[in-house]
Every structure is written in C-alpha cells, then in structure tokens.
Structure 1
Amino acid sequence: MSTTYEFQAETKRMLQLMINSIYTNREIFLRELISNASDAIDKLRFAALTETNLVPEDANYEIFLVPDQKNKALTISDNGIGMTQEELIANIGTIAKSGTKEFIDKLQNHEHLNATELIGQFGVGFYSAFMVADKITLLTKKAGTDLAFKWESTGDGKYNIEPASKESCGTTITLHLKEEHTLDSNNEQNYLNQQTLQTLVKKYSDYIRFPIKMLFDIPVQESDSVETKQELKILNSMAPLWTKNKNDIKPDEYNQLYKHLFLDWQDPLDVIHTRAEGVFEYITLLYIPEHAPYDFYQKEHTTGIKLYSKNVFIMDDCRELLPEYLRFVKGIIDTPDVSLNISREILQQNQTLKKIGKNLEKTILKNLEVMLKNSRDKYLKFFKEFGKAIKHGIYADYSSHEKLRELLLFPSSRSVTEDSLITLAEYVANMKPEQDVIYYATGKDRQAIDSLPQIEVLKEKGLEILYFLDRVDEFAIDMLAEYAGKKFQSISRGQLDLSKFETEQDKASQDKLINENKDLLEAIKNALTEKVDEVRISNRLKSSPVCLISSDSGISISMEQILADVQDSKIKATKILELNPNHEIFKTLKRTFEVDAQSEQFVDYCKLLYGQATLLEGLTVENPVDFAKLIAKLMK
C-alpha cells in the first residue's frame, strides 16, 4: 500500500527554487549521488566490522550506472547500507540541517549563482537531481532486514513510499530525465550519453574508493556488418590519492578530491600531504579551506578529519586528532596502528591517536609559520578567515601560547590600509628604544579606535598602537600577558606611564596639577557616586576634555560590554574618570567649584562630563532622556 507524505516546508520551498532556477552547472548532480552511494557503502563496511552477519566476507562493493535510452532514465545503484522506511522519511523528506533557510535565501536572492557553490556549501546533494529529472524513483533495502521500500516524487511537494521487493541491500535511484537532457546525443548535458557519464565520473569521482561500473556499447565487426556488444568498464581509478607519491600528484587532483570529500565549491587555500614511518605509521592529506564555512564559529560545527585504517573508513568526525583551535583543518588520516574492530568509545581513548594528533598539530603549525614567512598574502587570506580560531586557542589553552603567539596578526596605528596587519614580532622590532610595553586599543572598528580621545598623545609621541577589533582579542592578550618580555598595556586601562617620553619639567608640572586639584577631584567623585570609583588628572588626553577608563584590576570596560552581550553578565569594570587639565572645560569646572562646590550647576557639569566620556568610549548613557534634558538645561 502506497502512503503519500508532504515534504517538510523548507524542503518543499527549496525544491521549487532549485527546479525553477537557472543553473550553468547541473552536471554536479552525478557527483552528489555517487558520493551518497559511496557513503552508504562506507557505513555498511563499518557496521560489518562488529555485525559480521550483515554481509558475506567476500562481498564486492560497487556503484553501478545504467543509462536507459528507451525509457529516458538514468539509474545509480549501490550495495551499501540501505534505508528503512523511517530513515527514508528522515533523510529524504526532511532536511534537519540548520543552514537550510540560508540556502533558500541564497537561491531566492541570487538566481544565477553556480549550483556547485550552493549545493556544495549546504550539503543538499540528493535534491540536486531534480535539476535534471522530473521524477525520481528510489528503491532501498536496509542491510540486516527483510523489508524494502520504494520512494517516488516529482518534486511537487509530495512523495510516496510503499513496500517493494529487492533481493539485496542497498539503494537504487532512477532519474526520469527531463527532455532537454536526453535529445541530442552530442550534447554535453545529455546524461544518457555513455561518454558524457564517463567524463563526469573521471572529473568528479575518480578517487571514490569503490568501483563505479557501467556497460558500454562496443561496435564489433561481424562478417559484413557491424554489431554492438556490451562491455563492462570501471570508470574510476579507485586508488586513494593520499597513498600516492605527492610528486606524482597534480594540484588539480588534490583540489578535486577536496571538493568531493568536503563538498566545497572552491579549491583549498593550502594542502599538506605527509607520510610518517617509525614508531607510528600514518599518511596525512590535510587541507586548509579558502573560506570558513558559514557555521564555523557555531557550536554545531564539526571537524573535517576523516579517519581511515588501511584504506578502510573508520570515523567521519575524529575530534581527538586535533585541538579545537585547528578545527578549520579538513582532511584524511590513514594509519594501520588502530584496530579495525575498535568501537568508537574505545577509539576516543586511543593513545596512538593522541600521539599522532600531537605530530599533526606540529606539522600544521609549522606549515602556517612557513606560509606566514614565505607567502604573506596567502597567510593574510588564511588569517582573515580563521584568525579568530588561533586567538581562541590562546585564550582557551595556556599550553598553546608559545605555539600560537607568532601566528597572530593585528592592525595597528601605522597600518597603511585596513588590510595591513602586523605580527607581534614586527611590533616589537619597531618599538622605540625607551618603550617597555606593547600598547593596544579595543573597538568595534578602526574608526571607533581612532576616535578615542586617549589615543592622541600616543600618536603624537610616535608610539604604535595595536588595534583589537575582534571580541576575543583582549581576552587572548590578557591570557598571553606579555611577548618578548614586553607587557601588554591598554590605552584605556590603568595608569598610562609615559614618563620615559616626557621631560623633567613635564613630570614636575603633572605632579603640581595633581596636588593643586585634590579637593576638586574628590568633589567630582562625590558628585558621581556609584558611577565612578576614581577621578584623576590625565596624562593621556590632548584635545578632548575627558575620558573614561578602567583600572588594572578586574575587567576592562570593553570586556564588561562583551560579557553583558554574551552572558547577560552583571560583572562591572572599575571605572575611572580622567580629566584634561589643559582644556577650557576643566578651567570652567574649577571656577564653578571654587565659587560653590555644592552648587547644582557644579553637579550638573560633573554629570555632563561623565556622560560625554561614556559616549566617547562607545557606550550608551544610562538614561538618554535625562542626559538630553541636562544638555538643554545647561545650554539654556
């Protein structure tokens, strides 16, 4: 009995857009279906390690293509794990992936984007078949069961499932092709043409580890006539690329394997192919992507390390191999030094893998160091995409500091363009001889930092300032504490010791100002009870009358903002109001104080200056309405 189901709402919308949009690269549907078939065989092989009755020991795994000119249909079949009825509904009728909505938005807003980009990015490969087929029939039987099911849909928002007959486990997908893909035998988009199919398999799926087979029509001379006989051919090489000598591998071969395995639409930024022999044997083929996946900085993001043993797939998401901060690396590790029948739970505690992982970490970091030294532009691309992960590594793991600090890049006050970044080593090399700290400032962008009043004096003295624009920057630097014996100093935190860059006369003048204005500073603090913890004369202001900073102890003002946004934290920074003694406003404030320290006008001036300092720091005043009334009152 056939049962009709509705596609999930987002799946239905996605299908409509895919079917009705115009694409220039429909051919990738074959790559997607072959990849699914390969995954299904991998799953069966893995399951058979512990459930030996699932398949015979001499089972021959294969993927089969059958072009049917008569019925205008193309069939892709495998003898993999197969699916139950529940799995059919879950895997085909529903897309549980969080990126589905973003995928739909891209389809709606960019009708002419290449299908490779969208499908590869969001992993909705099965549905790409509807670009070339007006009906799809799927027959499947789960290994270890006696039940088979037929799934069928025309992509109209519904699908049918009914019981069926199938001798062996696996899945057979029949695409009833649209007319434009069957008419012209010389058309590159005629997917019943044997030569076209062979070319596409070679292009996209040559390194699938299972034979992709197809019957070819071969003309044979018989007496006075030419007859056609069929010959079975294997279309792919099957030799795992990573087992070859890297000197024999072309860059495009690396790239094609990467795109096939990780469903990316772009070539990787870098490839690391190594072979280790000795105490542990393993082969690594690692990739650094050109761009971070859309969900890279979300908790749900998984690593891209596939574990093999003697070319047998073991695990798809091997988290134990690399530390969290290297989760951007994708690739394959093939080692004979793990047991094939080992369970996933035991595998997680496997000491061999941990030791291999340590070696991989060193290899990747060394590769990044070389890239930074010899290919600066390439490293800048990498850091733009994955620099936050490196910074998170420093913040989250104390043991990583020495490994990662040389890989950090930051913009600075000397940067010529917004893309100009420098290393900590380059900053130290440019320091003034008498300078003993590394200055930095935090802000949402360069303009925000350049607008900070406390930056003027440092620039005037020719001191370089690192710009921290990522939320994690200050947290990471606080954990790092120092570099090359130089401590990090925020320009908005604690005492800013500029005495080494001042004359003795300047120092004496500053001390005199502090002593002369002790009572004024105390009165301002009293007027701002519970708002600031200290009021003092500033040595970091030039043209601005006031600034708000935090003390060295506790968190900074920028950290307070971040914690409030992320965790709804109530932790507050210890705030200090600094006044510019050379500004006319300070003189006005002093005259008002001398006339009547208890006057309403003096208190209003103090509140106004605090509000101004709050805004200059990029914060929101506590009560905008009261602040606006206060300005109006003083203007009147």
Structure 2
Amino acid sequence: MGKKTTHKFKAEVSQLLDILVHSLYTNKEIFLRELVSNASDALEKARFKATSDGTEDNVTPEIRVEADKDAGTVTITDTGVGMTRDELMKNIGTIAHSGTAELTRMAAEGKESLDSLIGRFGVGFYSVYMVAEEVTVTTRSMEEGSKAITWTSDGKTDYKLQELDEDLPRGTKIEVKLLEDEKPRFANNAALKTIINKHSNFINFPIYVGEEKVNTVTALWREPKFQIKDEQYAEFYKFLTYDSEDPFDTLHTSVDAPVQFNALMFIPKSDEDPFGMNRDNRGIDLYVRRVLIEKQNKDLLPEYLGFVKGVVDTEDLPLNISRETLQDNVLMRKISSTLVKQVLNHLDKMAKDNAERYDEFWHAHGNLFKAGYMDFFNKEKFANLVRFNSSESEDAKGLTSFADYISRAKEDQKEIYYAYGPSREALGLSPHLEVFRNKGIEVLYLYEPIDEFVMDAVRDYEGYTLTAAEHADMEKLDKFESLVEEEKPEALSDDQQSTLDKLITRIKDVLGDAVTEVKASQRLSNSPVCLSNPDGNVTSSMDKIMRVVSKDNSIPKKVLEINPDHVLVRNMLTIFEQDENDPFIDQAANQLFESALLLEGYLTDPHALVGRVQELLTKSSGWYVDTKK
C-alpha cells in the first residue's frame, strides 16, 4: 500500500466548502443528482474511449447506490472510466472555474438557491458536503497499468491521497459518511430511490438501489420515432402526467440547428384547468443529457401553449445551469422559439388535414390558446389557428376560421364582421345584427371577453378588416341586397320628417343626460331602438370589460338609435302630431330606453320598467277586449 499524503485545498475550494458545510438550504438531495450525473459521465467516457480505441469493453456499465442505515453511509459506485492520481487531484482538488468569491457573495445575499449556484462554477461534486461528515473516493482508471487511488476528506481544509495495492475493478466508488442530522433522511434505500426517480430517472445506464433497478422508464425522446409504438407513447405520457387517459396527440422531434435538442410533447384530451385556477401547473420538463434540470420550466413554451406536456433534452446547456441564467440564456430562447414554431406548425397541419380532429382540439384547449393574441411574433400562424362560432354555424359548437369566413364572404365584401354576446340565442336576437341577418352577411360570434382582445390584436386577415358589427359602415352594407322581403311603411313626408326630428328632440329631453344623443337608425328593421357607443371605436363589450377592470359600476352614456319605420315609432309619431305633451311619449321613451339597457346588460334596477309594462298591459288589454266584442 502506498504512502498516504496530505494536500491542502486551494483557497477558493476552502471558501466553497465553508459555504456548503454551513448551509441551511433544505434541498440537500441534489448531492445525489450530482454524484449520479458524474457517474453517468464516467460511464459515457469509458464507452467513448473503448469505441475510439477499437477495443471491446467487457465491463458491464452500471451505477449502484446503497445506503447503510447502521453505518450512516451512502455509497455510489460506477464501472466508468475511473481516475488516475493526477486526474483525481485535478478534478477534486481544485475548482474548474474560479468564481468562489462571487458564489460566496451571492449565497450570502440570498439571491439564488444553493442548488442553482452549484455547478455554475463547476463544483457539483462538492455539494456532497451539505450532507457529509466525511467522503472517501476510491477509483481506478481504465488506463493500462493504473493503480487504485483513495481520496479522503472531511471537507474542511485538506484531503488525503493514498495509492492502493489491491487489484480493484476499474471505476469509482464514493462513500459518503452522513452528518448525524442527515442520517434519518438519506441513510435508507427508499429515500434514495425516490430522489433518483425524481432527478435521474432517464440516465442512459442502469441505476441500482440495492439490487433493484430504479430507472426503468426509457428516455423515449431519445429513441428513433419509427421504432416507437403508440402504446409506448401513451405509457410514457401517463408516467409523465399521471393522466388516466391516452394523449390526444403526440409531437416527437429532434432538432440539430440552431441548437441541438430532442423533444417529446403531448396534447391531453381534455383541459385539466378549465377555470384557469391552476395556471402554474404547466411547463415542459427540461433535461440536460437525460438529467432533470427543472420540472415544468415555464419559459420554454408561452402560457397560451400551456396545455402541452412533455420533455426537452439538450446537450448544449451546462448540466447545472441556474434558474436565473436559464431565463437569460440565448440557447434557451432559441429552443423556445423553435418549440413554439413546431407546436404551431403541428396544429396547422392538423387543421388542414383533419378539420374535425382540430375542432376536437379547439373545444378542449381553445380558450387557453386564444391568449396567444399577445404573441406578435407568430401573429399570422395564430390567426390561422383561432376559431369562433358563427351565424353560419349549425349550432353553438360549430367552428369557423377566418379563412372559412372569407371563402363564404360576399363579392366586394372586405370586412370580417364579429359581435359579442352572452349566447348564440342572444346574438340571434341582437338589434345590431338585424341588417346582417336581412342581407345574409355572416357574423362571427364571440362569447368570451378574451375574444375581443383577439380581434383587436389580429385587426386584419388576408386583406379583410376585422370589424365589430355595431361599428359597421352602413354605406358598405347598403350595396348588398336584402334577402328578406321587408314590409316597410310608406316613406315619411317632409312634414312627417320634420315631426320626427321634433319627436327625437323630445325623447332626448325626456331621457336627459342618460344618453349622449338620440338619432334615426339605418341598421334596424325589426327592433324599434338600440344603443350604440358614441365614439364608434370601443365596442359595447370592450367597454364593459374596461369598466370591470376599473371597478366602474355606473351605467355608460350611449347613443339611442330609433327605427323610423317601426310600427311603434310610427304610432308615437302620430300621437306626437296630435299632442306633443301626451304622457304616452314620455312613458314610451323611458320604456324603450330601459328595454335597450336590459338587452345590453346594463339595467340594474328593473322596478320602473316592470311597473310601466304592467301599466301599458292594463291599458292595452282594455283595447284588446274591445276588439274581441
């Protein structure tokens, strides 16, 4: 047995060890992730060396982890490349990248969690001293003629090296003598198995805890697509998400440029968060060389693609990159950009190849997807994929794209019209849409507040302007013939037109500041009145959204539009001609205004309206009885 020699740690290593030994950080389990990753690297190097040398490696590649409860130890053994004396001193006696002073400052300031700082400076092995009283590394290099070496340290000021005469198998064994407080947590195989399953489940080499192989699920994303069956994808999806259902769709991809990565993504059959109460439960698991770096990374895919589940594995990121650095990392942005394009292209292909299947996807995840109106970089792709119910749909479940709408648009029509309402039935009765129904012009139906933001963000599509129906230019609609034969009364004479102007003024006086203006309408046919926004820019529904945000409960002042051809208005005109002070005019003006408010969803106190309805019914019932005599 060779002489045991003692070597002092370099100053920066001592500083680092001091941080680790005195750390109160709770996630100390990452020491095992680091040691298993190092073992995996050693096995990878052994395989590469054998391949490069053209020799056959008869040693079975494996990693073994064992807890000894009585001794209070955890041992990690690999059959990898091993280390010579010089390599041992280089790899463990120094830090690969100087920076401990910065690490010390950042840890002291509490800017980042310790597991994020570990590894940024190439110090993954030292994380073991968060749990270790002493560590012994026994290793023998696969280099011919190499002797076994043992390295021992309590992680304070120095380490001891000794050459062994024993003919040990090649590879490395790390024996961790646990601190007293850490023994209950780590000195048992069940705990070690749980940690490995969490962080190192997809390491490419078998990992045994005791005699049980614990990494039993294959890193399916690394396998060639043509060799994988649907059942394997389904099994992996269920393992990943705990969903009892098979995935709705699978996207398996391998990218070499601009950054190299493999990704396996799934679209679930149903929305697991229909009410948007658990938006944090999203993200893609990020792996580096099969080692989990971050569970549910939120930066790889934007929130509107949050329904996508899966994993991304890259060779290009450092194994222990901090979360702060992840967010600023150029490679991460490139991976994210590529992933978004791939998901959108995949959905676009689905929509083109199988519209019914895409509709099924939309009913499950469309509400979340619509939040993509903020993704200006992919505005065109988003606009191609968004769907709405339409006046042309058979029922409320029917879906229409902007492209579908254009294919049915009238000749010379350059607008895509839309309207917001609480339901298909409500929109089917909306006074604002009467002219569209009469002329057979399609209107997209919006049911959710976010739909308004989608329209505002997209603005135009293939040369067609997205236009709210209530803001439609009536001159543009006049050129289209009516498909319904309307029974219109005779046109008003000049005298009647003059009387109508006076009636409109009277109605404005009756309503006072409740409306900004009263005017004759061009859009109405079946309804006597409707309300419109005075500025002509903000839609009624957007106005409501803005009022909710600003907590404004007041009733907005709008324009009251009157249909001069409606029977009720003509009767009011006749009454007004006979007696300008007839109380029925006041009564009818208030009733029509509050009925319009009720339709718009603004009437908070219906008592006056109900009282007038009952009074009018009482009077009209007398007339009705007389007609039956």
* Local SS of the residue matching 1:287: strand
Q: Which runs of 5+ in 1 are unaligned?
A: 1-39, 65-77, 81-141, 148-162, 175-204, 216-231
Matches within 5 A, 1:570-581: 575-581=558-564
- Equivalent residue in structure 1 for 2:289, among 292, 297, 310: 310
Residue aligning to 1:448: 426
Deviation digits for residues 86-137 of structure 1, max 9, x if unmatched? Answer: xxxxxxxxxxxxxxxxxxxxxxxxxxxxxxxxxxxxxxxxxxxxxxxxxxxx
In 2, Cα distance between equivalents of 1:524 and 1:332: 65
Partner residue of 1:169 out of 149, 173, 186: 186
Is this contact kept in 2: 1:268–1:288, CA < 8 A? yes
Q: Secondary structure at the match of 2:512?
A: coil
Q: CA deviation at 1:551?
A: 4.2
**Does structure 1 residue 543 correspond to structure 2 residue 560?**
no
Determine the C-alpha separation between the residues in 1 that align with 2:132 and 2:513: 75
* SS in structure 1 at match of 2:332: helix
Distance 1:370 1:532 in 2: 50
The answer to whether structure 1 residue 522 and structure 2 residue 505 are counterparts is yes
Residue 139 of structure 1 corresponds to which residue in structure 2? none
Q: Which whole-Å deviations, capped at 9, do the CAs of 1:276-297 have from their partners, x for residues lacking one?
A: 1144211111111111112672
Paired residues for 1:438-587 under 5 Å: 438-493=416-471, 495-497=473-475, 498-502=477-481, 517-551=500-534, 553-565=536-548, 568-569=551-552, 575-587=558-570
Amino acid at match of 2:440: G
What pairs up with 1:212-231 in 2 under 5 angstroms?
A: none
Distance (whole Å) between structure 2 residues aligned to residue 392 and residue 242 of structure 1: 29
The residue that corresponds to 1:335 in the other structure is 314
Match of 1:381 in 2: 360
Is residue 241 from structure 1 mapped to residue 217 from structure 2 by the alignment? no
Aligned partner of 2:584 among 585, 601, 619: 601
Please give the alpha-carbon distance, in whole angstroms, between the structure 1 residues aligned to 2:361 and 2:584.
56
Q: Determine if contact 1:210/1:238 at 8 Å carries over to the other structure.
A: no
What is the rounded CA distance, in whole Å, between the counterparts of 2:188 and 2:207 in structure 1? 14
What is the correspondence of 1:342-491 to structure 2 with a 5 Å cutoff? 342-394=321-373, 396-491=374-469
> What is the Cα deviation at residue 509 of structure 1?
6.0
- SS state at 2:390 partner: coil
The answer to which of 331-340 and 488-497 deviates more is 488-497
For structure 1, which segment, 373-382 or 448-457, has the greater mean C-alpha deviation from structure 2 after superposition?
448-457
Matched to 1:368, the amino acid is L
Q: Which of 600, 603, 614 is the aligned partner of 1:632?
A: 614
Matches within 5 A, 1:108-257: 144-145=130-131, 166=183, 169=186, 211=206, 232=211, 234=213, 237-257=216-236
Alpha carbons of 1:434 and 1:554: their partners in 2 closer, same or farther (altered >3 Å)?
A: closer
8 Å Cα contact 1:63/1:210 also seen in 2: no
The 1:436–1:536 alpha-carbon spacing in structure 2 relative to 1, beyond 3 Å, is farther
Q: Shift of residue 368 of structure 1? A: 0.5
Percent identity, aligned pairs only, is 31
User: Whole-Å Cα distance in 1 between the matches of residues 131 and 501 of structure 2?
Assistant: 87
* Residue 401 of structure 1: how far off its partner (Å): 2.1
Aligned-partner Cα distance in 1 for 2:412–2:214: 70
Deviations 1:36-64 (A, max 9, x none): xxxx99855557799x9xxx999946699
Structure 1 contact 42–313 (Cα < 8 Å) conserved: no
Q: Could you tell me how far 1:255 is from its partner in structure 2?
A: 1.3
In structure 2, the partner of 1:16 is none
Conserved? CA contact 1:41–1:61, under 8 Å? no
- Compared CA separation, residues 587 and 210, structure 1 to 2 (3 A): farther
Letter of the 1:548 partner, please give it.
Answer: L
TM-score, structure 1 as length reference: 0.63
Equivalent position SS for 2:389 = coil
Contact 1:211 1:238 in 2 (8 A): no
Q: Report if aligned partners of 1:494, 1:549 keep a CA contact under 8 Å in 2.
A: no
Give the match for residue 238 of structure 2. 259
> Are residues 495 and 522 of structure 1, via their aligned partners in 2, closer, same or farther at CA, if it must alter by over 3 Å?
farther
Q: For 1:419, give the aligned amino acid.
A: K
Check whether the contact 1:435–1:500 (CA below 8 A) recurs between aligned residues. no
The 1-side partners of 2:453 and 2:340 are apart by 23
Q: Return the alpha-carbon distance in structure 2 between the equivalents of residues 478 and 612 of structure 1.
A: 29
* SS of 1:601 mapped into structure 2: helix
Counterpart Cα distance in 2 of 1:530 and 1:57: 82
Alignment check: 8 A CA contact 2:286 2:293 kept: yes
Task: Tell me which amino acid in the other structure corresponds to 2:606.
Answer: P
1:606 Cα offset (Å) = 0.7
- Cα distance change on mapping 1:529 and 1:312 into 2, 3 Å: same
Deviations 1:338-381 (Å, cap 9, x if unpaired)?
11232111111101110111111111110000000112222112
Question: Over aligned residues, Cα RMSD in angstroms?
Answer: 4.0
Residue equivalent to 2:117: none
Structure 1 residues 528 and 250: alpha-carbon distance in aligned structure 2, compared to 1, 3 A threshold: same
* Aligned partner of residue 298 in structure 1, secondary structure: coil
8 Å CA contact 2:265–2:311 kept in 1: the answer is: yes
Once the two structures are overlaid, the 10-residue window that deviates more, 165-174 or 470-479, is 165-174
In the TM superposition, residue 146 of structure 1 has moved relative to its aligned partner by 8.0
8 Å CA contact 2:555–2:602 kept in 1: the answer is: no
8 Å contact from structure 2 (residues 65, 207) kept in 1? yes
Aligned residues: 457
Amino acid at match of 2:186: C
Q: Cα distance, 1:623 vs. partner?
A: 2.3
8 Å contact from structure 2 (residues 64, 209) kept in 1? no
Cα distance in structure 2, aligned partners of 1:41 and 1:244:
32
Within-5 A mapping of 1:42-81: 43-45=30-32, 60=63
8 Å CA contact 1:273, 1:286 repeated in 2:
yes
Gapped runs of 5+ residues in structure 2? 1-26, 44-61, 68-73, 77-127, 134-179, 192-199, 619-629
